Chain A
Amino acid sequence: MERPTRTPLEVEEESEGDLGARRMIVNFGPQHPATHGTLRNIIEMDGERILRLEAEIGFLHSGFEKISEYRSYNQTVTVSDRMNYMSPLCNNIALAVAVEEMMGIQVTPRCATIRIILAELSRIADHILCVGLQAMDLGAFSLMLWAFTEREKLYDIFENVTGARLTTSYTRIGGLFRDVPHDFDEQVRRFMESGKKTISEMEGMLDENPIFVNRTKGVGAVSGEESISFGLTGPLLRAAGVQYDVRRARPYLGYDQYEFEIPTEKEGDVYARYRVRVREMYESMKIVDQALKKLPKGPINVSDPRIVLPTKDERNLPEGGMEGLIYHFKNYMHGHGVRPPKGEVYVPTEAPNGELGYYLISDGTERPYRWRVRPPSFYNYQAFARMSEGGLLSDSVAVLSSLNIIAGELDR
């Protein structure tokens, strides 16, 4: 058996004057700590300057799109939260919203509000960690610890609500797996107090910190027009001056009833992305605050027994009649359950990293014919070569952490 070949450290032939080390090819990843995941970059360098960068991905490919073609729609929810492991709830919600749009289901007001609160809390969890890791990559280690402390509090909330910290699988088509616990409101408010304080402390540490500013301003800048051509979305696009946010452009779950700003910066560099993320966290807190105030009472699931499972009481009590049992049985029987009509939809949502879209094709059965995810990290990472080429190797670390690439979502 042949050994797999490795890219050797190639050194151009020695010539006089330049000591023979003009051009080097360096492997950056897949095990480098600054990649925060399994990414490999093959970098051709002239001294410290990057001439050419080729990104190699696929180390975490798990075949999610293929697996999902063999699962029912509710089962694919569990697949979706394994994709972006920084904000799994946003993935759950995006999938549920897509299937509901295909079936024409309107979720209950309470369900929509709970989903919005959890999506925005996930956004904060993602952004705060991204900023913390960005600071750590540039030498400010304590910010990473602060960020993790805050995210731990958010994960406690998620655990309290969904029963899991990472593999949340919280949404169901037409509703939620269960209602939020009674101390949810109190817990979120407690987090918001401490979170706001930590974020403003982080701002104080970084905004005018000469080390951070020197290493981020003007680094990895792309124009708004080029960002659109690259398909960049989310904070990266808004940092380049394009005011585009799916929550505003194509409101879902009633986002149009909330007041919030879409923060934009002009420069499109690493510093602008950091600023956009920080400002977005404040906006998310505004949304959470409004949503908590108006959190309506009522059912969390739509009242359609063909889609939603009956509650335990309906199923077990003899006075409930046979119906609960029959509905439960029919939901799980082969050829029954959630069956969208024949057709296809592409439904975008605003995930922390950008536009997370689901392109679903239904052939009328209980399993999707095609289950395609538009992962924001995939398109964002494609622009990495363009942002790093011509810069220093150390700058590429700053650029990479500002892209916030999640390998699980990148490779699916």
Chain B
Amino acid sequence: MDPTTAVETLQQKFPEQVISAHEHAGQPFVHVKRDRIVDLLKWLRNDGGFDMLADLCGVDYLNQGMPERFCVVYNLTSTASNARFRVKAFVPEADPVIDSVSKLWKSAPWAEREAFDMFGLQFRGHPDLKRILLPESYGGRPLRKDYPLIGEGERQNFPRYTKEAHGKAH
């Protein structure tokens, strides 16, 4: 399906979900609410022909005047018609939960784990939601905008092998 047609049809079929439609550099995309995200994406996959979830990632819009602070971005591809489309679902800071799309696409689970790891977004219905790139003991959510580049001391406080504590092992 043509991306511009997809935008119009989405606005008709999901009038309460679609917040606004945008276009930049010839790439159309929509801002949507998180409520019926699985239905919306399922429709795009089955009827819109966007059969591949090329990428899923989080964005932190801290103080940017966006509908909510967090955003989950779904970059979709149609392998048949080569069209591309983007859906951005907004997630509030107070309750950062959104439904998982891992039942629709097998590419979703790891990407959702990365968004959880980096932004602390929760994906309801995810088969195994845990950190993926950072160790389980890591405290912060590094890609949030209020997380400093230098870190919050995780690197300095990493458990270390020292001679005093572990010298006898050798």
Contact = CB atoms under 8 A, between A and B. Distances in A.
Contacts of A332: none
A-B pairs, 10 with minimum CB distance? A231-B107, A343-B24, A249-B82, A58-B133, A374-B55, A61-B133, A229-B106, A230-B106, A382-B110, A244-B79
B13 to A, nearest CB: 23
A150 interface: no
Given A3-B166, A229-B105, A231-B107, A58 B134 contact: yes
Nearest to A344: B24
B159 A357 contact: no
A190 interface: no
B55 A57 contact: no
Interface string A208-248: 00000000000000000010111101000000001010000
A376 to B, nearest CB: 10
Given A228-B79, A343-B25, A374-B55, 15 more contacts: A57-B133, A58-B131, A66-B142, A67-B149, A101-B25, A102-B24, A229-B105, A229-B106, A229-B107, A230-B106, A231-B52, A244-B79, A250-B84, A344-B27, A359-B73
Nearest to B60: A370
B6 interface: no
Contacts of B82: 249-250
A345 interface: yes
Contacts of A343: 24-25
Interface in B69-96: 73, 75, 77, 79, 82, 84, 86
B19 interface: no
Determine the interface band of chain B, counting residues with CB < 8 A from chain A.
35 or more
Interface in A341-365: 343-346, 348, 355, 357, 359, 361, 363
Interface string B24-58: 11010100000000000000000000011111010
Interface in B114-143: 114, 118, 131-135, 142-143
By CB atoms of chain B within 10 A, which of A66, A344, A346 has the most? A346
The A contact surface, by secondary structure, is mixed
Given A242-B79, A363-B64, A226 B159 contact: no
Nearest to B81: A249
A244 B79 CA distance: 7
Contact of B75 (A2, A58, A67, A346): A346
B67 interface: no
A191 interface: no
A132 B133 CA distance: 29
A366 B109 CA distance: 33
B21 interface: no
21 contacts: A1-B159, A1-B162, A1-B165, A2-B159, A61-B134, A67-B149, A101-B25, A104-B25, A226-B106, A228-B51, A231-B54, A231-B105, A242-B79, A344-B29, A346-B27, A348-B84, A359-B73, A372-B55, A378-B111, A379-B110, A379-B111
A346 B133 contact: no
Nearest to B45: A229
A411 interface: yes
A252 to B, nearest CB: 13
Given A250-B82, A374-B75, A346 B110 contact: no
A57 B131 CA distance: 10
Contacts of A101: 25
Interface of A: 1-4, 57-58, 61, 63, 65-67, 70, 101-102, 104, 226, 228-231, 233, 242, 244, 249-250, 343-346, 348, 355, 357, 359, 361, 363, 370, 372, 374, 378-379, 382-383, 386, 411-412
Contacts of A63: 142
A57 B106 CA distance: 18
B1 interface: no
By CB atoms of chain A within 10 A, which of B54, B55, B105, B118 has the most? B55
Nearest to B160: A1
B65 to A, nearest CB: 11
B59 interface: yes
Contacts of A233: 54
Interface string B144-169: 00010100000000011010011000
Nearest to B55: A374
A58 B113 CA distance: 12
Contact of A383 (B106, B134, B135): B106
Nearest to A226: B106
B79 A231 contact: no
Given A61-B133, A346-B86, A66 B149 contact: yes
Contacts of A382: 106-107, 109-110
By CB atoms of chain B within 10 A, which of A102, A343, A379 has the most? A379
Contacts of A346: 27, 54-55, 75, 84, 86
Interface string B1-34: 0000000000000000000000011010100000
Given A2-B159, A66-B142, A231-B107, A357 B24 contact: no
